[in-house]
Amino acid sequence: MRHFHREGTKHTKWCGNSCSREVRARSAKGITAEAQRRREIAERLSAPWRLCGWLAFGATNFIIAGADFVVKWLFEAERCTKALIAALSCLAILTSSSAFALDVHTVNLAKGQQVWYVSDRSLPVIAMSAAIPAGSAYDPTGKPGLAAFAAALLDQGAGRLNADAFQTALANRAIRLSVSCSRDWLIVSLLTLTDNAKDAFHLLGQALSQPRFDADSVARTKEQILSRMTEDGARPDRVAADAFYGAFFHDHPYAHPISGNRAAVSAITAGDLKHFASAHWSGSGVRIAVSGDIDGPGLTVLLKSAFGRLALRNPPAIPTAMHEGGAGVRDVPVPGPKSVAAFGLPGVLSADRDYTAAYVANFILAGSLSSILAGRDRSSFDSEVSMQLITDRKAGFVLGEMTSQPSVMRKAITLLRGTLRDYAQDGLAQAQLDDAKAALTGAFPLAFDSDVATATHLNEYQRAGLGIDYVRKRNALISAVTLDQVKRAAKRLFNPSRLTVTIAEGQPPSRQSSAIDPQNR
């Protein structure tokens, strides 16, 4: 009302001061009529826009509803697709023992060189794993660790490229080169894009045939090795493993640690490294496995670039380990709250008639979460117990590890001996064998889920002395194993009286004494 009066007052002033109440009333009426007329005009003018708004609103709702439907449909489609993939994966695993096949081919290089490859064009990458007989077993007398030292320098410069330039050449081409040293082998792994394969294999060839061993690289790598030795000296698992190999292999070349010892490594010179590489980085006896975007002729060219310049010199023979084992328990002190036991038993080589049965027997005992050892009272062992069948060139053995509190480690070892004794004395049922076969054959295809994995596993089979047809017939060999064969292998392998145990016994750092108790059985 106040607002209307102000409007009237304004209008009255516009009409003049002589306007009466009647005039003001008529004026108000005119204003009301004018306002109504203007509203009608505005509504007529705005009607088309309101129609457009309604249409836009309706269209928006339709689009939102449609988008919501599409999203829901895509979600359901994705869910169904994943379910289908999962079902097909399960079906593949269930039928893998008969349906899985990996086409492994070979190419001929120089005499004494073994090459397996799988052609896989799904991705533009090539993966290689190669093994040269130049592991720690070839260390000269008095120079343990020389082979591993040389291996650590393989990617630290070659030809005209110093360490930095060589690493830059790899990085600029996205080439992954890694090197490791085992007791038998210098193992080289290479991963490259197909477009860069020529450069990748050429760089590897330079590293193998023209290593530099520059003084700065040697000094830096020596410092790294010695630093790692200090760290390993405080790790119970490393201390126990090194002690086990010494106790198990005595004076065999497998006995000393792969990385050597501080005194020996400290004394190694660039001349020692050059002499070892010249004598042992040879093309003879090399084992090469490749998987990826490659064919036979193309692979031949690449491998000649990498290995063609190596001399075909036979490595010196390593004696067969004839007297593995040293029954009993040996203690090695190590600072820390935990104790770790490394233990082992004489095993079999791949050419042995019991090899496949022994592999299955070890899997039943300790190869899965449903294994016999895994089913024992955890509070007794206070940790999971791992065991594996090792096949080196000159020795086959069973190697295990167990972690426990120092106060209960002896009890855990006693329980381990009892479990081995029971298992060796016919502690195996047909149902356990059937379950093991299903698990081993069903999971086998999953080991080849990438080019890197394929090359790695094929090279492992080569190093173990298995044939090129092993992948094809492996599941059939496992399926054919009988209960009697597994029992025979278990009795042969898991005799607790032959068990060698070394314990890295956790204790306060001030305690320095060590004990040897070969009679503790």
Q: Which residue range is the domain that position 499 belongs to?
A: 328-517
Query: Quick check: is 85 in a domain?
Result: no
Strands 287-292 and 386-391: unpaired
355 and 294 co-located in one domain:
no
Rounded to whole angstroms, the Cα distance separating 490 from 486 reads 6
Using DSSP's 3-state secondary structure scheme, residue 319 falls into: coil
Neighbours of 235 (CB within 10 A): 14
Rounded to whole angstroms, the Cα distance separating 387 from 5 reads 101
Query: Quick check: is 81 in a domain?
Result: no
Place of tokens 């007398």: 141
44 and 133 co-located in one domain:
no
118 and 265 co-located in one domain:
yes
For each of the chain's 521 residues, which pLDDT tens digit applies? 433 333 343 333 333 333 333 333 333 444 444 445 445 544 544 444 444 444 444 544 444 344 344 333 433 443 343 334 333 444 444 444 445 679 999 999 888 899 999 999 999 999 999 999 999 999 999 999 999 999 999 999 999 999 999 999 999 999 999 999 999 999 999 999 999 999 999 999 999 999 999 999 999 999 999 999 999 999 999 999 999 999 999 999 999 999 999 999 999 999 999 999 999 999 999 999 999 999 999 999 999 999 999 999 888 889 988 777 777 788 887 777 788 999 999 999 999 999 999 999 999 999 887 888 887 655 555 567 899 999 999 999 999 999 888 888 888 899 999 999 999 998 789 999 999 999 999 999 999 999 999 999 999 999 999 999 999 999 999 999 999 999 999 999 999 999 999 999 876 655 544 443 433 33
Query: Quick check: is 82 in a domain?
Result: no
277 and 376 co-located in one domain:
no
272 and 393 co-located in one domain:
no
Query: Quick check: is 157 in a domain?
Result: yes
Domain count, the chain: 3
Place of tokens 């007794």: 380
DSSP annotation of 211 reads: B
Strand order in the sheet with 176-181: 105-106, 114-119, 287-292, 125-132, 186-193, 176-181
51 and 126 co-located in one domain:
no
Query: Quick check: is 90 in a domain?
Result: no
Q: Cα angle at 294 between 288 and 295, to 5 degrees?
A: 90
pTM: 0.78
Rama region for 505: left / alpha / beta (φ>0; ψ in -120 to 50; rest): beta
282 and 352 co-located in one domain:
no
**Residue 305, amino acid:** S
CA gyration radius for the chain?
38
